[in-house]
Amino acid sequence: MTKKLVPLMALLVGVALSGVASAHAHLHSSVPANHSTVAEAPKQIALEFNEPVQLTAVTVQKGDGPATKLGPLADAASKTFSLALPTLEAGSYIVKWRAVSDDGHVMADKVLFTVGAAK
């Protein structure tokens, strides 16, 4: 009987830990979408998270060029954000963002997209 309890306990601990690991906020979607190619340069980027977060930094960068800060950033936590982009030429872009969730967890990631034909 003890031999049967060990695998069951391991399974229950694994399930419990997987729930904790996935409890943090994460980017649910963006417009433009990550790894997408758009025909025309977007005038804004939209970020949607699975739960409210406070954005602390957002930048846009073409290739390995200099990063441009986007903003102003909202003072309150939200699940959705829309930020104006500067005029973008054809090419590949990286939008990097950093946010803090309600539980204090800091997360950072990026959205990659291409304007015009992929090169």
- For the segment 46-74, what is each residue's pLDDT rounded down to a tens digit? 999 999 999 999 999 999 999 999 999 99
Residue 108 inside a domain? The answer is yes
Residue 77 inside a domain? The answer is yes
Cβ–Cβ < 8 Å for 31, 68: no
Residue 16 inside a domain? The answer is no
Q: Which residues of 49-70 are buried (b: 16+ CB within 10 A; e: fewer)?
A: beeebbbeebbbebeeeeeeeb
pLDDT at 9 (0 to 100): 47
- Summarised one tens digit per residue, pLDDT across range 19-34 is 444 568 899 999 999 9
The domain of 59 spans 24-115
pLDDT at 3 (0 to 100): 58
State how far the Cα of 10 lies from the Cα of 14, in Å rounded to an integer: 6
Q: What is the pTM of this model?
A: 0.78
Residue 10 inside a domain? The answer is no
State how far the Cα of 108 lies from the Cα of 24, in Å rounded to an integer: 12
Residue 36 inside a domain? The answer is yes
Question: How many domains does the chain fold into?
Answer: 1
CATH number at residue 42: 2.60.40.1220
Residue 15 inside a domain? The answer is no
